[in-house]
Structure 1
Amino acid sequence: MNRGAERDSESKSSREIISNKLGDISGENMNDIAEKMGKRHKGNKTQVRRIYNDIKKVQVEWRSSDKQQKAIEETINELHMIKPQLAYTAARKQELSGLKENLEKIINKVEPNKDSIQNFFKLVEAFVGYHRYYTEKSGR
């Protein structure tokens, strides 16, 4: 697969979620998107795990919050502040540029409500699980 076709393929999974509201997406659709992302994205387990750990920190703060509007806005702001970290990581490891683009698009789709935020965290967690599975399976 040439680089342009690979990039189109990588961003297709994020376009699938972009067409839906993140808060309304079903578990089945979330699973399908996470699996496609896990199959497509390059990068070793450590690199993906570092990104996941940054997102997990935001999730821990979210879970300990009162989940009122102020906490929702703070959580969304924290998610947006992960974008510079994604850019830095993708600049160092070019194979993560597709993942950076997809996660940025998904972060942009997080709406200011509990379901949307919770689905974002579930989607990322599912992606990490599938990425690990396909990484182990392919020997990457």
Structure 2
Amino acid sequence: MMRGGSNVSDAQLQQILSDVPRIINDPKTADVLVKRAEELGQKLVTERLRMAQARDIFDELRQIESIWLREPERALRRLHLLRPKLAYRRARVRELGPLAEVLERAVAEVVSAGDAAQRHDRFRRLMEFMEAIVAYHKFYGGGD
């Protein structure tokens, strides 16, 4: 792994997007999660996404996480409502596009789960993915 590595192409972004269902649905794909998070973190640096913009979304997810066990229906509602927020932010901040696209797909996987326990497991994997993306974004030089 080299700091400042190569640009992540649009084809690689499509591969990341195609792997999102596996990352969110399958607990045995930590290796794929790490690989795709690194690629996306690099792409976000290339796109010049500021850390504060990524952190805003991460903070929203953390708030949802904090209420999930106490009020799962409220948390699920907030997760549903994150999708239009992502669309709005993506329209305002072009650099957010790849992250918003990946997260929209990940959220769709979480909310489509068959039962509450499965949704919670998928949400935890979404959080792991987002944590890894933010970490790699910082590692590859993402800043404010």
TM over 0.5: yes
1:103 maps to which residue?
103
1:52 aligns with 2:54: no
Q: CA deviation at 1:52?
A: 0.9
- How far the C-alpha of 1:122 sits from its partner, in A, is 1.1
Q: Tell me, yes or no, if the aligned pair for 2:23 and 2:32 is still in contact at 8 Å.
A: no
Residue by residue over 1:26-65, the C-alpha shift from the partner in whole angstroms, topping out at 9 and shown as x without a partner, is: 3222212211211112311111111111111101112x42
| Identity over aligned pairs, percent | 25
Name segments (4+ residues, structure 1) moved above 6 Å: none
Structure 2: give runs of 5+ residues left out of the alignment.
1-7
Give ranges in structure 1 of 5+ residues lacking alignment: none
Give the TM-score normalised by the residue count of structure 1: 0.77
Q: TM-score, normalised by structure 2?
A: 0.75
Find the aligned partners of 1:7 and 1:28 in 2 and give their Cα distance: 21
2-side partners of 1:127 and 1:21: how far apart? 13
Q: What is the 5 A alignment of 1:46-85?
A: 46-62=52-68, 64-65=69-70, 71=72, 73-85=73-85
Structure-2 residue corresponding to 1:10 = 13
Please give the alpha-carbon distance, in whole angstroms, between the structure 1 residues aligned to 2:81 and 2:43: 25
The 1:108/1:61 distance shift into structure 2, 3 A limit, reads: same
Equivalent in the alignment of 1:24:
26
CA contact (8 A) 2:37 2:129 kept: yes
Number of residue equivalences: 127
- The answer on whether the counterparts of 1:90 and 1:96 sit within 8 Å (CA) in structure 2 is yes
Q: Which residue identity lines up with residue 25 of structure 1 in the other structure?
A: P
Quick check: 1:79–1:107 contact (8 Å CA) kept in 2? yes
Structure 1 residue 25, shift from structure 2 partner: 3.3
